[in-house]
Amino acid sequence: MQVSFGRLFCHGISRFRSTIGIIHMKNHHFLRRSESPLLAMLTFGTLLLAGCNDNAAPVSVAPPEVSAAQVVVKPVTQWDEYSGRIEAIQSVDLRPRVSGYLESVNYREGQEVKKGDVLFTIDARNYRAELARANAQLARAASEAAQSRNEARRAKVLVAQHAISTELWEQRNAADQAAQADVMAAQAAVDTAKLNLAWTQVRAPIVGRAGRALVTKGNLVTADGAASVLTTLVSQDKMYAYFDIDENAFLRYTQSARTGLGGQSATIPVQVGLSNEEGFPHRGEVDFLDNRVERSSGTLRVRAILDNQDRVLTPGLFARVRLQGGRLPSTVLIDGKALLTDQDRKYVFVVDKEGKAQRRDVVPGREAEGLRIIEKGLVAGDRVIIEGYQKVFMPGMPVNAKEVPMQGAAALTAAVK
């Protein structure tokens, strides 16, 4: 479009010159009496007019160049983001089950241990002696029980021959039963002594990573109600991510699961990212929802289970959690840098069929695969100015639009497929 800026300017100056001449003719005496600043201004205007004439060459202004991309319209997966914490599936405070002096620490602090590994050894000499005494008592009880059994059998024969009284037979039979009970008690004492001796070796009850040793060699540990914690163990192969969702999100998820909206499956996938990670590289699924919404906060506790074969996840870490909320069938997406702000409103510039930039107010949504969801304001086929919108001074201004691909569209296509 050619705009003759010089001609327009000189035309205005000519009108100004004619007006000045009329004023000069009608107010000749007034101008003579006016002060010198007014005369100086009129003189400057006359000199300026001398530089303009009707034959001034027109000045051409080319439309500014901008980059425009067509909006992307396709199904996308909707994700909701929450903050949470990583916790171990199994966490054990390892305590002694017998009292004694700690004889040795048999592991390297921080290492992964297997179930059954001996981590601590307690002085076992007293417990070996207890086992030996229990075995001796068992042998004595067994011998006495054998004698009582023989006497009871003989008494049974004699009472049948009326050689002894019935009362004596009953006494010997009762003595036999008591002797057998003593054997059982002695056997239980032996079993207890064996357990106590075995417990002098404090073993790992689970597979996991052992923490630092809280009690060192030579210290006395006790097995009473205030038993000392020797160390802690946490499982590693899988981890939990705990987070809270608001009640509106909970109702939306249950509605999607009930109606099958968006292809919601029986399991709800989650993606997790740590504070120093880009995106959400860890995958898992929801395995637990609490049975009530907290009245004070209006939130529901949710738990996801995550694979941790690479051992990146550690209990206590802050986690960014994305929860799949469903699949939107036809969604308009644009590059987020095309969004502009006018006070509390968001808008973009689109290029119409005549090659002019037009303002379009929009309602942006969340991000999806590197693009921004537009909930309202754009339709399929619209071309949005991605770069160069600073050159657009007003709606309806002609632009020279260069077609470019929407950034992130390729990644989105791959993700959707």
| Confidence at residue 255, expressed as pLDDT on a 0 to 100 scale | 76
Q: Are 120 and 233 in contact (CB under 8 A)?
A: no
Tens of pLDDT, residue by residue over 172-210, are 999 999 999 999 999 999 999 999 999 999 999 999 999
Roughly what angle, to the nearest 10 degrees, separates helices 125-160 and 166-198?
A: 160
| Confidence at residue 408, expressed as pLDDT on a 0 to 100 scale | 63
Rounded distance between C-alpha atoms, residue 371 and residue 415, angstroms: 12
Please check whether the domain covering 124-199 is classified as CATH 1.10.287. Answer: yes
| Confidence at residue 409, expressed as pLDDT on a 0 to 100 scale | 47
Give the SS3 label for residue 303. Answer: strand
The mean predicted confidence, pLDDT, of the chain is: 84
Helix (H) / strand (E) element for 148: namely: helix 125-160
> What CATH fold (topology level) applies to the domain 65-76+329-416?
2.40.420
Tens of pLDDT, residue by residue over 59-87, are 567 899 999 999 999 998 878 899 999 99
Average pLDDT estimate for 100-120: 97
Q: What are phi and psi of 104, to 5 degrees?
A: -160, 155
pLDDT > 80? residue 132: yes
pLDDT band at 311 (very low <50, low <70, confident <90, very high): very high
Average pLDDT estimate for 113-131: 97
Rounded distance between C-alpha atoms, residue 258 and residue 286, angstroms: 16
Sign of CA dihedral 201, 202, 203, 205: positive
For the chain, the structural domain boundaries read: 5-50, 65-76+329-416, 78-89+237-327, 124-199
Write the DSSP string, 342-398.
Answer: ETTEEEEEEE-TTSEEEEEEEEEEEEETTEEEEEES--TT-EEEEE-GGG--STTEE
396-413 b/e (C-beta count within 10 Å ≥ 16 → b): eebbebeeeebbbbeebe
Structure-token pair, residue 160: 């049948």
- Long-range CB pairs of 180-187, under 8 A, 24+ apart, other chains included: 180/145, 180/148, 180/149, 182/141, 182/144, 182/145, 183/138, 183/141, 183/142, 183/145, 185/141, 186/134, 186/137, 186/138, 186/140, 186/141, 186/142, 187/138
- Non-local CB neighbours of 296 within 8 Å, separated by 6+ positions: none
Helix (H) / strand (E) element for 187: namely: helix 166-198
Percent of residues, the chain, with pLDDT higher than 90: 68
pLDDT > 50? residue 386: yes
Rounded distance between C-alpha atoms, residue 137 and residue 185, angstroms: 9
Residue 210's DSSP bridge partners are 233
Helix (H) / strand (E) element for 252: namely: helix 247-259
Rounded distance between C-alpha atoms, residue 404 and residue 391, angstroms: 18
CATH of domain 78-89+237-327: 2.40.30.170
pLDDT band at 58 (very low <50, low <70, confident <90, very high): low
CA 329 to chain centre: 25
| Confidence at residue 225, expressed as pLDDT on a 0 to 100 scale | 74
Helix (H) / strand (E) element for 307: namely: strand 299-307
Q: What is the pTM of this model?
A: 0.66
pLDDT: is 258 or 399 the higher one?
399
Choose among 233, 231, 275, 19: nearest CA to 112: 233
Give the SS3 label for residue 166. Answer: helix
pLDDT > 80? residue 361: yes
pLDDT > 80? residue 299: yes
